Amino acid sequence: MVKIATGTVLHGQIVVEGEPFSEGEKVTILGHDDQVGFRVSAEEKRLLLESIAQADRGEFVETGDLLAELDESN
């Protein structure tokens, strides 16, 4: 299951707002500057969650393979 949460770094620890994550649960952190911030549309959020689900299913390309493929195309 994919969850999206926001939080704040306090004393070097990330304090998550809302429902806590389970002990040992894997997370991905995306930081942003409060002055800049970011917004995503409902469609962008859907695409992001689908991309995360694909990665969770192992449907991704390893970095080295991607770089080799890009190098071959040049």
Phi, psi of 54, rounded to the nearest 5 degrees: -60, -45
CA-based nearest residue to 57, from 67, 66, 49: 49
The DSSP symbol for 35 reads T
The mean pLDDT of 28-34, rounded to a whole number, is 73
pTM: 0.44
pLDDT for residue 16 is more than 90: no
Q: What is the mean pLDDT of the chain?
A: 83
The 10s digit of each residue's pLDDT in 35-62 is 666 678 899 989 988 988 898 898 988 8
What is residue 35's predicted lDDT score, i.e. its pLDDT?
A: 62
Q: Taking the alpha carbons of 29, 33, 51, 18 in that order, is the dihedral positive or negative? A: positive
Whether the per-residue pLDDT at 11 is higher than 90: the answer is yes
How far apart CA 40 and CA 10 sit, in angstroms, is 26
Q: Is the distance from CB of 33 to CB of 40 less than 8 angstroms?
A: no
